[in-house]
Amino acid sequence: MKPVLRDVLRRRLHRHERGGDAEQADGSDVVSTLAATLPTNRGAIETVTMPRQRHPAPIGFYHLEHTAISECACAGLACFAARADRPDRWQTAATQTPVLYCLGKCYDAPSDGAHDVRPHVGEHACQTVLLGNVLRGGVRDLPTYRRGGAALEKARQMAPQALLNMMEASRLRGRGGAAFPAGIKWQAVAGACAETKYVVVNADEGDPGAFSDRFLLEDDPFRLIEATAIAAHAVGARRGYIYIRKEYPDAVRVMSHALEQARVAGWLGPTLELELVVGQGAYICGEETSLLNALEGRRPEVRPRPPQISERGLFGAPTLVHNVETLCAIPWIVTHGAAAYAALGFSNSRGTKLLSLNSLFCRPGLYEVEFGISLADVVEQLGQGLRRGKLNGLMVGGPLAGIVPPTLLDTRLGYEEMQAIDCAVGHGGVIAFADDTSIPRIVAQVLRFGARESCGKCTPCHLGTPILAAMADAAANRLPVDADRFRRLIDALAATSLCGHGRGLAEFVQSVRRHYPSELQAWCD
């Protein structure tokens, strides 16, 4: 099949599955492409309407497709850490089907879909880059937002190459976990030779413990729309998608209304069309190639690379993917300049970072900090210490990011600095575990989560993680386990997993083993 025709059919499949296609319900776009591709004319092509049916393979993986979020309780790690505070709610979360791993309410854990309170929001930086409107309680109408700045208008008056240079000079790195330089991504997509390019917003904030993207989506939706439009202008994309997890129903509602306002006001339009897509509960969609498969109506499995998505991404076209926090820094950079942004932070970690503190802190909530702050200051100054017990460990950056022992709290928040202690900045979800939660039980909970959320693409992750989770459960309950088999499975995950999910689980266990050797001695030695 010719590449052009294939991509048209893929786009058509996507629009059908999202319920769209009102303008071209007769298939005229496909007919036109066939006529241009084959040695024939439009009149010689007959169209036949077939009954619509979605293949069941993708449906089975989206485990929240028929689930009302308001009826669910959260079984994520932040809720696990606070399970003693609301044991009945935790029991519901641990036994319900399907299991739901994060509602973005880690500041009020254990949480459920029926209850919510607004968290404390604070800043600890020389400049407030991201949380200005969140600190004010949110800006959800376009006229009010536009009175606060005009980054998009300024960007559209700039040459795309000038924007590309600005992004590189700002030294902004991706905030979703990989920390890849944003400017290099932009240059790669901009330099790709293709008529069609896409920009995709990864708002599938699935790491238990993180809720920063949720409040950017709910309280500052136009900042994200503006940032996406700026990025699209820079790389030459005319269509984009915002993929929001179903677990954030308020964010979906707010963003949907914001997009309507932006279209009516002509803020979007011919230069960029943005479509909102709601996820259905697959954690692995946080990985960008899985996310692209989901957008195409496929099972969200990881794609092997190369090719990179900057060359061949969504529907086979060059694609720029960023998470919400990364994009939301762009209007500030355009307004204040790359040098002003690069002046914030320290070492190779420039700018500011959002941190989500869980409910075990005396002052849980959402904070904007400059890179370089020590973890001790995060615990004592921002969080005001723990509500109860002693700190047993600090998880920063998601369930695969390792556990920082109390002896290493003098470590400064930075990508390379956290990597040096076998941990990670990740998405910035900070979960404190008190001494009522043992390290083996944390490891067992992480492996159980990892097994449940494996996409099944590669055998070591698909088959190995359930075995590891069962062994970790046994060890946490002081039952004997085959330590040699456990080690071999971890080594296989680390060496042969296709993506960061399996490798991350292995690295998590290896990190915990180094920092808490006596806790895991019976099942790792």
Round the average pLDDT of the chain to a whole number and report it: 89
Query: 141-155, 290-304, 330-344 — which one is most confidently predicted on average?
Result: 330-344
pLDDT value at position 48? 47
Quick: pLDDT tens for 314-358.
Answer: 999 999 999 999 999 999 999 999 999 999 999 999 999 999 999
CATH number for the domain that contains residue 326: 3.40.50.11540
* Domain membership flag for residue 426: no
pLDDT class for 42, splitting at 50, 70, 90? low
What value does the mean pLDDT take over residues 422-436?
Answer: 96
pLDDT value at position 25? 46
> In the chain, how many domains are there?
3
Domain that holds residue 279: 120-342
pLDDT value at position 177? 78
Q: Give CA–CA dist 497/476, Å, rounded.
A: 25
> Which residue type occupies 362?
C
pTM above 0.75, yes or no: yes
pLDDT value at position 64? 76
* Domain membership flag for residue 405: no
Quick: pLDDT tens for 1-17.
Answer: 554 555 555 555 544 44
- Point out which residues pair with 239 in neighbouring strands: 198, 273
> Which residue type occupies 194?
A
Structure tokens at 209: 């413990």
CATH number for the domain that contains residue 464: 1.20.1440.230
pLDDT value at position 476? 92
Of 309, 342, 375, the residue at which a domain comes to its end is 342
Q: Per-residue pLDDT for 255 more than 50?
A: yes
**Can you count the helices (H) and strands (E) in the chain?**
24, 11
Alpha carbon distances (Å) from 502 to 116, 489, 497: 33, 11, 5
The answer to whether residues 35 and 160 belong to one domain is: no
pLDDT value at position 38? 63
Structure tokens at 169: 């000079």
The answer to whether residues 323 and 449 belong to one domain is: no
Query: Is the separation of the CB atoms in 343 and 352 below 8 Å?
Result: no
Residue that is written with structure tokens 């002509």 in the block = 266
Q: Give CA–CA dist 482/469, Å, rounded.
A: 13
Quick: pLDDT tens for 45-86.
Answer: 555 443 333 334 344 455 677 788 989 999 999 999 999 999
* Domain membership flag for residue 397: no
Q: Is 205 left (phi over 0), alpha (psi -120 to 50) or beta?
A: beta
Alpha carbon distances (Å) from 285 to 275, 282, 323, 446, 466: 17, 6, 12, 18, 20
